Every structure is written in structure tokens, then in C-alpha cells.
Amino acid sequence: MTDKRKNIIRRHYRFYGAVQGVGFRYRACYSAEAAGAAGWVRNESDGSVSMELQGTEEQIDMVLQTISQSRYIDIRSMDVRNIPVEDERDFYVKEEWWY
């Protein structure tokens, strides 16, 4: 395992607030691609948004900072937990689970 790979982490986030219908998923994809992070983002039926984000601490911080600076997104609270790293290289919008 290379040193770069050792620094990779993965986190699961759940965002609450004005996070649906405000470009959150688009901004997450754009931010993750720009930062070189992997994972996915999905709207939830309760109005929250779930996201798994994988990369270095710096990449993850960049993605979260870009999302939170969006004009219409208002994250009022979030839950976060560390999860196992996956063999994933891209970031995508995941289909809503209730479809």
C-alpha cells in the first residue's frame, strides 16, 4: 500500500436543512470531481441528503467547504461517521432509495 493510499478515508454524511431542491447534489458532484474525491450523494425521503465521501482529509474538507458556500444550500446540522474505504474512483448521484 502506498503512502497516498494510507491517507484515504471514507465518511458517511447525512445533511439536514435546506438541502433538497437547491442544487446540493450538483454542487457535491462538481466539488468532488474538482477535488479528486470519490463516493456518492442521494436525496432521502425525509428531506435530508446522504453522502459518502472518500479521499484525503484535505479533499473531503474542500468538498464540504464548497458545498457549504453555495448561495442556496443551508446545512443546519449533519451527522457524520467514518466507514470502511471502498475500491471506488468516481463520484456520482445515487438514485433515491424509494424508487
82 is catalytic: no
Active-site choice (25, 27, 76, 81): 25
- Nearest-angstrom CA–CA distance, 26 and 32: 10
25 is catalytic: yes
Cα 87 vs. chain centroid, distance in angstroms?
16
Domain boundaries, the chain: 3-82
Q: What's the pLDDT tens digit per position in 20-46? A: 999 999 999 999 999 999 999 999 999
Q: Where are the beta strands (DSSP E) in the chain?
A: 9-18, 38-43, 49-55, 74-83, 91-93
| The overall pTM is greater than 0.85 | yes
- CATH code of the region 3-82: 3.30.70.100
Give the closest residue to 79 by CA, choosing from 51, 57, 58, 54.
Answer: 51
Active-site choice (5, 10, 27, 43): 43
Cα 1 vs. chain centroid, distance in angstroms?
25
Question: In this predicted structure, what is the pLDDT of residue 95?
Answer: 81
